[in-house]
Chains A and B, each alone.
Chain A
C-alpha cells in the first residue's frame, strides 16, 4: 500500500505524535496505513546477540519489562519519562524513533546503545545503524515504502550500565534537554566502551563522538575527567533558544545531565561512580 501511494502515504503506529500533527495540518497524508493489526511486531526478547524489541511494542510494555529494567536501564529510564501514562499506553518504541523528532527521548538512548534498526519493504529487509538512521529533523533513513519492524540492541556485556536523564518543565512535555550514557567497564575500572546521545539540543538527535572517543580507555573517572566528558558533549550540542530556555542555559543543562548520567551508568555497571 505504501509503495502504491508514493510519498503521500504515512504509517500510523501509536499515533501519539502523528495525530497531533494531523490536527495542526502540519502533516496531511493522502493515506494513513495503520500497522496496529500486523501480528508479530510487538515483543521484547533476547535472541542471539541482541535484545530485540518489536517496533509496535508500546512504551508502557517497555516500562514494565523486568528484562529491560534490569539489563537495559537506559531504555527503562526513557520509557518512564516519554509523554505521560496515557501516551505511553499507545505510543510505540518504533514510532518514537522513526518519527525523527530530535525532541523524542528514545533516539538518544538507541544511539548510546549502538542499536540497529530493521526496515522492511518490497525489496526485503535491511539493517540500519542508529548513527546512520537519524538524518535530519523529521527525516530518518527509511524510504517511503518501508516500515521499521524491529530494534536490535547489542546484548549487554558484563559490567555494563546505562542511564537516561531528561529535564522537562512538566510531565508530558518534550525535554528541555536530555542525555543518554551507556558504559562498559573492564576489570580494574577502565572505560572499555561508552556511548553518549543527546536529546533536544540540535536539529537531530546527537551522538557525542568526541566525548565518547575521549573517555574510551580512560581509567580515572575523577571530577575533572567527568567535567571534560561533559564539556566535550556540550561542544557537540547545538541547542537553540526557545520557550524551554536559552541556548546557553541548555548547554549548562546538557553538561550537568551528561555528568550525572555517566555517574549513574558507572554505578549501574558496578563500578565506582
Chain B
C-alpha cells in the first residue's frame, strides 16, 4: 500500500488540504474528512447518483472518482448551493413543488438539476428528464422532481 498523498481541493469556495490514501473515494473524503454529509452514499455501485457533486462545473458521481483525482480541482457539494440561510432557487423550487419524499436522493437530484440549468436555462421537459436520467429516486417521485426543475428554470433569483 502506497503512503498518503497530499491533495488540495477547493470545496464550495474554500481551499482544503489533506493527506489521503490513494484508494480513498472522493465521496468518503467529502463525508468523512470534510464532514460534509449532505452528499449521500446511496448504492456505492455507480448506479444511483445520490453522491453527485460538481468537479470544475461538471456533475459526476463522487463514489466513482478517487479523492486524489480531485487534486487541484474545484468541487461544489449540496452545501455550497445556498448562500448562508438563503436557499438556492433550485432548492426553493424543490421545496415549493414537493420535489422530495424521503429525501435521500435529493442532494444528487439538486446537483444534477443545478448542472443542467447552468448549461441550459430554458430546458424542455425532455431535456430535464434526460438531465436527471442518471439519478434514481426510489420513492419514484419523478413527476414532482421534473416540475421542481421546471420551476427552478423559471426563477429570477439566480
Contacts and interface: CB of A to CB of B under 8 A. Distances in A.
Interface stretch (A42-50, A81-89, A222-230, A252-260): A81-89
Contact of A89 (B2, B58, B68, B133): B58
A36 B112 CA distance: 23
Contacts of A89: 58-60
Contact of A86 (B2, B59, B66): B59
Contacts of A15: 64-66, 69
Contacts of B22: 32
A83 B58 CA distance: 15
B47 interface: yes
A19 B134 contact: no
Given A20-B45, A20-B46, A171-B134, A86 B61 contact: yes
Nearest to B62: A86
A60 B49 CA distance: 17
A19 to B, nearest CB: 5
B131 A19 contact: no
A23 interface: yes
Size class of the contact patch on chain A: 20 to 34
A86 B60 contact: yes
Contact of A16 (B44, B52, B64, B130): B64
A90 interface: yes
A85 B112 contact: yes
A172 interface: yes
Interface residues of B, number: 24
Contacts, number: 59
Given A86-B60, A90-B60, A23 B112 contact: no
A19 B69 CA distance: 12
Given A85-B112, A87-B46, A89-B59, A172 B134 contact: yes
B134 A20 contact: no
A22 B64 CA distance: 10
B134 A86 contact: yes
A90 B133 contact: no
Contacts of B64: 15-16, 19-20, 87, 90
Interface in A130-172: 171-172
Nearest to A32: B22
Contacts of B59: 85-86, 89
Given A89-B60, A171-B133, A84 B49 contact: yes
A105 to B, nearest CB: 16
A22 B66 CA distance: 11
A270 to B, nearest CB: 27
Contact of B134 (A12, A32, A87): A87
Interface string A80-121: 000111110110000000000000000000000000000000
A60 B65 CA distance: 17
A34 B45 contact: no
A120 B23 CA distance: 27
A6 B130 CA distance: 42
Interface in B47-94: 47, 49, 52, 58-61, 64-66, 68-69
Interface string B11-35: 0000000000011010000000000
Given A60-B58, A86-B134, 18 more contacts: A12-B66, A20-B45, A20-B46, A22-B23, A23-B44, A23-B45, A32-B66, A34-B68, A34-B69, A84-B133, A85-B133, A85-B134, A86-B59, A86-B60, A86-B61, A87-B46, A87-B61, A171-B134
9 contacts: A12-B66, A15-B66, A19-B65, A20-B64, A23-B45, A84-B49, A85-B134, A86-B61, A89-B58
